[in-house]
Structure 1
């Protein structure tokens, strides 16, 4: 009866480890995507917003390694490996909860920081020695189909009455960039919305995965207890 229960817990632990492996791969993929995406805007933000992507990759790799401990502990019915898995999973659970809460707090602070950074970068558009900022602004406006930080009317005073061609849906020449062709959405609105959405997804996935980890810890503890009892009987 005990042996049958232990096998059941072992298989359930295997199933949860499979979920953790899939989650780890997903976290690494999302982290890589966020990192690559934000690196495109390095000239605006520097290293300020590259941390989340790197953190996701590190957490994904860590969870993958933890899942290995869990699989080996269940496969070999090893008490030490199984308890190590449970302890490490509990540590990651605490970190995921903290990270999820921090993500939602950061989500509410993003708008002011992004607006301030974009306004500073906008003042250097087209100026000598700031080609990186100019290219990044053009990339931002084309990719998000937006114009200006808070309004497209910000550009003419800075560019002798003209608009960047990246502001318009028709970029065949600078003379074609007229008000009727300008993207209606502002870049602050577009970029902040994109960032908030990604942060919300990361935070939600982190908290959701954290609660799945609780179940994994419980199963690991149950299996470790069953293994220990079996050793004591022997």
Structure 2
């Protein structure tokens, strides 16, 4: 016969996992939004900067799948399945924590690498670079890495994308004064803030899930041992 406490934990864990499944979808949406927001400037952004949202999307799919494992284990009162659920949550929590720590540690490196990429792109300025610069300068309303003077030594001159579309000829005095590095860096940092916020929120949910699953598993084991 089920104890009242075990019954309560079982249904709390079941409801928790339904919410957890929805949060998995939320993680996928957040990761996809960040990937789309920063990904359109991938010519200037290193692949490792794109890694956290990709990891988050993958984690979201895993969370969504694991939530059903937890629901089934709770309703069926399956001890081994609940332990597997708790271990899976712990692994995801550790992965998310590792990604967050890595992002914080290499934050300055990301910025310097991105700035160097922008500078090198101006020096090389192939057709691919031209398209990428036109895209970023139009969408972010910026010019050069640090400002329009970055284009002085470029044989092609200042790109028309540095100026308002109504300008027939784009010159330093009419170009956007703000450099693209600061604007792109701010965009990446805003995206990182979204990822960190979502990650912290999910981390608390995961810890709660681990505790509930372990409590129910312990209650089931105690009941079976009688």
TM value normalised by structure 2:
0.89
**Contact 2:49 2:110 (8 Å CA) reproduced:** no
Match of residue 208 from structure 1? 201
Match of residue 24 from structure 1? 24
Q: CA deviation at 1:32?
A: 2.2
Match of residue 165 from structure 2? 171
Taking the aligned partners of 1:217 and 1:46, their CA distance within structure 2 comes to 35
Segments of 5+ residues of structure 1 without an aligned counterpart are none
Taking the aligned partners of 2:215 and 2:42, their CA distance within structure 1 comes to 48
Q: CA deviation at 1:221?
A: 0.7
Match of residue 112 from structure 1? 112
Segments of 5+ residues of structure 2 without an aligned counterpart are none
1:157 to 153, 156, 171: 153
1:186 to 143, 167, 179: 179
RMSD: 2.2
Taking the aligned partners of 2:3 and 2:94, their CA distance within structure 1 comes to 32
- SS of residue paired to 1:50: helix
**Contact 1:107 1:196 (8 Å CA) reproduced:** no
Taking the aligned partners of 2:45 and 2:140, their CA distance within structure 1 comes to 17
Match of residue 224 from structure 1? 217
- SS of residue paired to 1:185: coil
CA separation of 1:101 and 1:204: change in aligned 2, threshold 3 A? farther
Match of residue 62 from structure 2? 62
**Contact 2:31 2:195 (8 Å CA) reproduced:** no
- SS of residue paired to 1:183: coil
- SS of residue paired to 1:147: coil
CA separation of 1:208 and 1:101: change in aligned 2, threshold 3 A? farther
Taking the aligned partners of 1:188 and 1:19, their CA distance within structure 2 comes to 39
Match of residue 195 from structure 1? 188
